[in-house]
Chains A and B, each alone.
Chain A
Amino acid sequence: MISSIAFIIVAVLGIGLFVWQIRKIARNINMGRDKEISGDVSKRINTLLLVAFGQQKMFKRPLPAVLHLFVYVGFLVINVELIEILIDGTFGTHRVLGFLGPVYSVLMAINEILGLLVIIACVIFLARRNITKVPRLTRGPEMRAWPQMDANVILITEIVLMLALFAFNIADQKLSQLNGVQLAGAFPVTSGLVNLFGSDVQTLKIIAATGWWVHIIGILAFMNYLPSSKHFHIIMSFPNVYYSKLEPKGQFSNVESITHEIKAMLDPSYVVPPAPEGADPQKFGAKDVEDLTWKQLMDSYTCTECGRCTSVCPANITGKLLSPRKIVMDTRDRMEEKGESPLIFAPAHYKEESERVKVTEERTLLRGYVTPEELWACTTCNACVESCPVNINQLSTIMDLRRYLVLEESAAPAALNAMFNNIENNGAPWAFSPSDRFNWADDLFMATKN
């Protein structure tokens, strides 16, 4: 009875805290500009099934893909057990789903095998981050102390959760054995370890209870850690992939306010439609997070900092400052500095600076976090967008920041201003006379066969 009440209090607090944090994040994302993303529901669902549920883009790199699949499937399946944990905890029952018989046995067996695979995957992931130091996971100015620690915290927590589950199962089996009761379920991983904790009933009861409580409190704590962590991707991937861009990657967004302006310029009778409520029609491009769309802000809550984008970026490969991952992480940091920060994470912790990134004191995404040098290194090649397993569009944010530099500040590099002038004056990006445009056709011959 007491443990039921304790459990209910812990569960309600945990879930309540999580909802409170989610609302903060929703408010942050809603700082972004409105943009209607709709249409082609069947294509969106198809993308969701392939890219999010099916992890299609992960398989460009088979080893991490398989290991990640263990953790992902483990996460999905083991959470079925969460239902039982919630019922058992609330009503003081024991393995309430045991009546399912063989189905329950299969479920428990799969859980144990997946639990073991999760532990193996997490150990390898820890080794990749801390021993072999895979470059994309460890290098770059954005991979400061917090993101590194965050990754390790997640991996270690997952291992502890699985071990707690195993401890509970071992003690539970031994207790049933000592009591001569048939325990529901099959336990392929722990059945050989039933004697691990000895046969003292009192000790076993404590271990079983501790294992159970560590698992459930661990899950609630983990859930509340998510909003502060890159690990939030386990939730955000799904909406983010659903709302991913369906147009060709080469199609950049159209700035409609400019279209109206030009049409009005060319045709004085053109009626410019009124700007939507609350929008700042005079501002072109993005200087700060509220100038980006809600989808671009959601992108940064989806990022799990895997670094695939940065590792394929031609600018980054050749030593330029640009790292698409940094732009996405900066967006999140700035959003939480300006808007609301969830429980654990404090943006100040993030703002450790690197030597090469010369940010200013400006409290805006542009210059305060992302420098023009990074933006001007981009070749708009879409390699980052292509590589992202959760369909983040790093390039769209880079382009909106560039637009602000050019349209609001006239701060393009001099060579690009010269190119703009050439287009305006000669109709070509180079300084050629438009009257020479057709010279290529002079004295043009071909061979014909007779």
Chain B
Amino acid sequence: MSEKKQIQVPVMADLAARGESPEVLFWVGCAGAFDDRYKNVTRAFVRILEHVGIKYAVLGMEETCTGDPAKRAGNEFLFQMQAMTNIATLDGYGIKTIVTACPHCFNTIKNEYPALGGNYEVIHHSTFLQNLINEGKVKIAGGGEFKGKRITFHDSCYLGRANNIYEAPREVLAALDADLVEMKRSRANGLCCGAGGAQMWKEPEPGNKDINVERAEEAIGTGATIIASACPFCMTMMSDGVKSQNQEDKVKVFDIAELIAQAEGINA
């Protein structure tokens, strides 16, 4: 029998008021907080955190944009303003370890905050999930409902080339006992979804095709019924790309955390 349990997501300000500190701070990110589709990923990841019983917290309303889109767009001033605001918040709570489901937040906090005085151990959720699986905290007995399903993983540029994380998301998917297939352009040769460098917020420059369509065609071409991603922008771009090919009924785009939560049977 399974039961429904309501989750009260712990907020950092409350923990601090009680004099407590979390093992890990979950950095939700703007897409994770506002994007309707990606909120599902946030919820799935929180369920996993609850499921394994790790002491975590979120910043809640105190979180603001890391500044990544501003920096990639060339607005260094706005980026640094955001970064310093966030560093003040994080340092105010004495945060040491951060986990996030967004490769852009991950890259920015991990690589670009140190020059501005923010030093943290930053973990992307793919690595975090890989560790949980390796430690046996997430078991997915028998692979769960994705056993044998054909899944292809789309590399996020800011996880892959930017930070050399290629294997962690694949090892997470391996726990599903699915039929993992690679696109021709994968890992270091992966093709961008088209959203990076602040393209997410603008129309593409004139060309003969949208990048996400090019990538979605490649993903659909593998015969996969699930495109797995580990980035909110890739999620949007790949979903739109699949729709442009009228394949949205046959091919679904999921984040690796959603697949794990689903396979582990903790979604409600």
Contacts and interface: CB of A to CB of B under 8 A. Distances in A.
A407 B74 contact: yes
Interface stretch (A176-184, A233-241, A310-318): A310-318
Task: Name the residue among B80, B107, B204, B205 with the largest chain A CB count within 10 angstroms.
Answer: B205
A285 interface: yes
A434 B62 CA distance: 9
Nearest to A450: B1
B35 to A, nearest CB: 8
Nearest to B215: A314
Contact of B73 (A250, A312, A373, A416): A416
Contact of B33 (A263, A378, A438, A449): A438
Closest 6 CB pairs of A and B: A250-B162, A427-B64, A319-B208, A380-B197, A402-B74, A381-B192
Nearest to B32: A440
B207 interface: yes
Contacts of A250: 107, 111, 158, 161-163
Given A262-B81, A427-B64, A254 B198 contact: no
Contact of B201 (A249, A418, A432, A438): A418
A322 interface: yes
A26 B3 CA distance: 72
Interface in A245-274: 247-252, 254-255, 258-259, 261-263, 266
A416 B201 contact: yes
Interface residues of A, number: 74
A415 B4 CA distance: 43
A255 to B, nearest CB: 5
B192 A383 contact: yes
B7 to A, nearest CB: 5
A285 to B, nearest CB: 7
User: Which of A252, A312, A403 is packed against the most chain B CB atoms within 10 Å?
Assistant: A252
A398 to B, nearest CB: 9
Contacts of B164: 248
Interface string B252-268: 00000000000001111
A76 interface: no
Given A318-B204, A444-B9, 10 more contacts: A252-B71, A284-B77, A318-B211, A321-B206, A428-B33, A434-B61, A440-B32, A445-B4, A445-B268, A447-B5
B28 A440 contact: yes
B72 interface: yes
15 contacts: A250-B111, A252-B112, A262-B81, A266-B84, A314-B191, A318-B214, A377-B205, A382-B157, A383-B157, A407-B77, A415-B201, A423-B64, A432-B34, A443-B6, A445-B6
Interface stretch (B15-23, B46-54, B130-138, B167-175): B46-54
Select the residue from B157, B198, B202 with max chain A CB neighbours within 10 A: B198
B204 A320 contact: yes
A20 interface: no
Interface string B139-178: 0000000000000000001100111100000000000000
Given A262-B81, A403-B74, A420-B75, A440 B201 contact: no
Given A254-B112, A315-B207, A446 B51 contact: yes
Chain B interface size band reads 35 or more
A446 B111 contact: no
Contacts of A11: none
B112 A420 contact: no
Contact of B74 (A285, A317, A377, A428): A285
A438 B72 CA distance: 26
A376 B202 contact: yes
Nearest to B73: A416
A399 B81 CA distance: 19
B112 A446 contact: no
B78 interface: yes
A413 B64 contact: no
Nearest to B210: A318
Interface in A311-367: 312, 314-315, 317-322
Given A320-B206, A321-B206, A446 B73 contact: no
A266 B47 CA distance: 39
Nearest to A247: B111
B243 interface: no
Contacts of B211: 314-315, 317-318, 379
Contact of A255 (B7, B50, B69, B76): B76
Interface in B74-95: 74-78, 80-82, 84
Contact of A419 (B1, B73, B80, B112): B73
Interface in B217-268: 265-268
B34 A383 contact: no
Nearest to A412: B73
